[in-house]
Amino acid sequence: MILSKRFVIYSFLCSLYLHFVICSSNTHHNDSFLITCGEANPLKMEDGRVFESDLGNTHVTISPISHTFVSNSEMGLPKILSSARVFTTSSIYTFSTKKIGRHWLRLHFYPVKNTRFDLNSAVFSVEANGITLIHEFSFFRGNQSDPVFKEYVIEVTGSNSGKLVLGLLPWDNSIAFVNGIEILSVPDQLLSSKVIPIPLGVAHELPVRVGFETVYRVNMGGSSLSPKNDSLWRKWGLDKSFLINPAAVRNVSVNPSAIRFHDGVVSNDIAPNLVYATAEEMADANVNEQRFNISWRFEVEQGFGYFIRLHFCDIVGSRLHDLVFNVYINNQSAIESLDVSHRAKGLFTAYFVDFFTNVSMGSDNILVQVGPNHLTGYLPTALLNGLEIMKMSNPSDSLDGRLGMNLDSTDIKKTKSKRMMFVIFSCLGGLFVIVLLLLASFVFYLCLCHKKKPKEDESLGWSALPTYVGSSGSKFSSNTFASMTVLHSLSQMISFSEVREATRNFDRNLLLGSGGFGKVYKGVLENGLVVAIKRGNPRSQQGLVEFKTEIEMLSKLRHKHLVSLIGYCEELNEMILVYEYMAGGPLRRHLYGSNLPSLTWKQRIEILIGAAKGLHYLHTGVSETIIHRDVKTTNILLDENLDAKVADFGLSKFGPSLNQTHVSTAVKGSFGYLDPEYFRRQQLTEKSDVYSFGVVMLEVLCARPAINPSLPREQVNIAEWAMNWQKKGELEKIMDPVLVGSVNLESLRIYGETAEKCLNENGNQRPSMGDVLWNLEYALQFQGACSGDGGDADSMTGISDIPDRIPDVESVDMETISDLESNGTTRD
């Protein structure tokens, strides 16, 4: 198994290398990829271009190959939108380009109607050569029903080995899709001129390694131009809707064949003659003493730099130097006394000029104005022929502002706290306020304790872990954790360079997921082992504690049903953990919110048995009891055979010693899974894990999230809701619809009773994990005894009405409450 995977990866890398070698040898060719996604045959477009299939093209590869396509011939749509390729996991298209330099990347998206996937609710991100193009986009959430067309300029450099890599990354459990891809070399002279900064400053070259997104491309005073009218297949739109005062302008035009391009400086590639042949000029230009500007306002996303290109051509003057006017951008002078025919070296001659401006926070538009010069003796008019506005990627390599907000969000969190309180009240009732108050008071208490007895804390080490009391385990003290030297023998220390190699320098296309702690990448170690690499956010104090806890715990533990830690790296302030790779991903993804085949009842019980064995081992199998504290469906991972392993020990703690009944500690865990007794009394026992496991059992049965704030009040919390049905003895009424008819009722009865016992208010009365395990095996016997498991693995019915964003609430701390809040607000 491993061998064949390794082979696939090696042959993949070899083929890339070959492409590089072949392609870098002829750098003088232009690239042109026209790709229709999900269509087997070449497609001739309305404009005459032929789009090739995305499969079977030697210069295009898709990886991994687990994807599928859908098509539908809806009437009245462009052909390119009739099919799409759908990805259920993060996937990449790799285009081996012949030319180094900037390329246009044009993407077509349309949620093709089909019976297999609901593309409207797909949530996904798109990246190209390390630049985020689109972050968590969804047709449904954007209230978008029209096709989406996007145009970017992406640089292919020698360091990307002459490749353009397009990543399609489904959000959490969602899917991603794309209908068509166009890639075209940008002619070298097209973006090589200097740009003038606004406010005015020294003109400079465009920065390299910056991605551009075309936000506006407008043909002033003319008709819209289809790609067929443009030598580089660009689209040009109308300007009327951007005019602040349409009554103040009138359109002028000349025969396009009259337009001249000045030798080599401006060519047809800059803009077609159709653009220069039309313009908007001031109405009543012949009335003297006109005192107004023509103003166009373009809405843009704040917090980005914008490249603005203005196209001019003197088509109204009768002699040179007749037409002189002023140009303003954002109320600031951009060109004073622009003499168009002088600059263009002739009448009817094309001319363009480039600007750059930052659109700061708090402003959301770019204002472009042309107006008459105050000097007399010139035509009292002003004109503009064409305009292009391109957004430039920001320092975090993104063209989508929503990304930045998810990243460095500490400041945003503070300002959000008021709204957060509101949302918490409205979706989840006063319950969490109690948690908050407890947390706050407890943190305060901890701080007090911490100050009083720092020495005691310091003395605790790996060898001296007799008891955990009060403050010693608080999230602010890292001294209690084992010294690293003890651990070296247990887990391999891995060098940062190897980690970087394994993840192709943290290639976003290898990203498996990201969470509060950081990002998780798939990687291949030098020895060929496929691993999951978790890279912590460097600045997080809490992250450091969890990092150390995880190493400490996992280095001590080896069990078939616990995810093994292969190594770690703490060079250069990095916090990196390397785990065995779990091909099946989190259990939750198999339950809802994705298009994975439904699990049968038997499979579900077997998975729970695996997880229960892992927890049972934690509770009883090692010298000190270990309490996981964060049992949930995203922390139960499945391998390729659907064998379950418990993961994520960042919150784990050692349990009470013999003469203690509990450990006092700050309340941590995840909403919906938290043992109510634990957060009332802040006393942790292994029975808190049993409670969380009960919630997991219900989630597995009902295939819905533990907390779903979008449901009616009484259904929000699965434990409350399902226990009402269990008490009525009608649990089968709320089980995952795909299971109906395939579940042995005796098996279900035992299962329901076990879950109910796990959820007992009183920890002492909950069963041990050993008892739970025994009961699950008993339930499995009944299911095994009845003929087969009969589940229809292809059925999707259980998924259709799941909201596109499932609240994924992590640990109970401020950070994750704001996660909840942001999920809550996107839902309404």
Secondary-structure breakdown of the chain: helix, strand, coil percentages, each rounded to the nearest 5? 30, 25, 40
If one asks whether residue 32 binds ligand NAG (CB under 6 A), the answer comes out as no
Q: How far is the CB of 231 from ligand NAG (least distance, A)?
A: 7
Residues 6+ apart with CB under 8 A from 756: 694, 723, 726, 727
Residues near ligand NAG (CB under 6 A), total = 29
Q: Which window, 225-233, 451-459, 666-674, 772-780, contacts ligand NAG (CB under 6 A)?
A: 225-233
Would strands 43-44 and 32-36 be described as parallel, antiparallel, or unpaired?
unpaired
If one asks whether residue 7 binds ligand NAG (CB under 6 A), the answer comes out as no
Q: How far is the CB of 305 from ligand NAG (least distance, A)?
A: 6
Q: How far is the CB of 259 from ligand NAG (least distance, A)?
A: 13
Between helix 687-702 and helix 601-616 the angle, nearest 10°, is 170
- The residue among 304 and 721 lying less far from ligand NAG, judged by its C-beta, is 304
- Report helix, strand or coil for 565: strand
- Contact criterion met (CB below 8 Å) for 580 and 563: yes
H helix or E strand, kind and range, residue 305: strand 304-313
If one asks whether residue 273 binds ligand NAG (CB under 6 A), the answer comes out as no
Q: Pick from 89, 129, 132, 369 the residue near ligand NAG by CB under 6 A.
A: 369
- Give the N- to C-terminal CA distance of the chain in Å, as an integer: 46
- Report helix, strand or coil for 696: helix
CA distance 750 to 726: 11
If one asks whether residue 328 binds ligand NAG (CB under 6 A), the answer comes out as yes
Q: Pick from 120, 302, 358, 409 the residue near ligand NAG by CB under 6 A.
A: 358
Tell me the CA distances in angstroms from 708 to 180, 672, 721, one per residue in order.
35, 9, 11
- The residue among 282 and 599 lying less far from ligand NAG, judged by its C-beta, is 282
If one asks whether residue 302 binds ligand NAG (CB under 6 A), the answer comes out as no
If one asks whether residue 452 binds ligand NAG (CB under 6 A), the answer comes out as no
Q: Judge whether 416 is annotated as a binding position.
A: no
Residues 6+ apart with CB under 8 A from 746: 782
If one asks whether residue 187 binds ligand NAG (CB under 6 A), the answer comes out as yes
- The residue among 293 and 783 lying less far from ligand NAG, judged by its C-beta, is 293
If one asks whether residue 527 binds ligand NAG (CB under 6 A), the answer comes out as no
Q: How far is the CB of 469 from ligand NAG (least distance, A)?
A: 50
Q: How far is the CB of 28 from ligand NAG (least distance, A)?
A: 6
284 is catalytic: no
Side-chain-side CA neighbours of 405 within 13 Å: the count stands at 16
Residues 6+ apart with CB under 8 A from 444: none
Q: Pick from 24, 68, 193, 223 the residue near ligand NAG by CB under 6 A.
A: 223
If one asks whether residue 251 binds ligand NAG (CB under 6 A), the answer comes out as yes
Q: Pick from 52, 269, 574, 732 the residue near ligand NAG by CB under 6 A.
A: 269
Q: Pick from 226, 241, 505, 825 the residue near ligand NAG by CB under 6 A.
A: 226
If one asks whether residue 9 binds ligand NAG (CB under 6 A), the answer comes out as no
Q: Pick from 367, 403, 512, 796 the residue near ligand NAG by CB under 6 A.
A: 367
Name the catalytic one among 31, 230, 339, 630.
Answer: 630
Closest alpha carbon to 131 in 70, 212, 192: 212
If one asks whether residue 305 binds ligand NAG (CB under 6 A), the answer comes out as yes
- Report helix, strand or coil for 571: helix
Closest alpha carbon to 131 in 108, 103, 110: 103
- CB closest to ligand NAG, residue no: 197
- Contact criterion met (CB below 8 Å) for 715 and 725: no
If one asks whether residue 710 binds ligand NAG (CB under 6 A), the answer comes out as no
Residues 6+ apart with CB under 8 A from 512: 90, 520, 521, 522, 532, 585
- The dihedral formed by the CA atoms of 793, 797, 799 and 804, expressed in degrees to the nearest 10: 140
If one asks whether residue 415 binds ligand NAG (CB under 6 A), the answer comes out as no
> Footprint of ligand NAG on residues 188-217 (CB under 6 A)?
197, 201
Q: How far is the CB of 813 from ligand NAG (least distance, A)?
A: 31
Q: Which window, 222-230, 440-448, 623-631, 817-825, contacts ligand NAG (CB under 6 A)?
A: 222-230
If one asks whether residue 228 binds ligand NAG (CB under 6 A), the answer comes out as yes
What tokens were used for 744? 């042995």
Between helix 431-452 and helix 410-428 the angle, nearest 10°, is 140
If one asks whether residue 770 binds ligand NAG (CB under 6 A), the answer comes out as no
Q: What are phi and psi of 602, to 5 degrees?
A: -65, -45
If one asks whether residue 426 binds ligand NAG (CB under 6 A), the answer comes out as no
Which residues here bind ligand NAG, judged by CB under 6 A?
28-30, 143, 187, 197, 201, 222-223, 226, 228-229, 251, 269, 274, 291-293, 305, 328, 330-331, 356-358, 363, 367, 369, 371
Give the active site residues.
Answer: 630
- Binding-site residues for ATP: 534
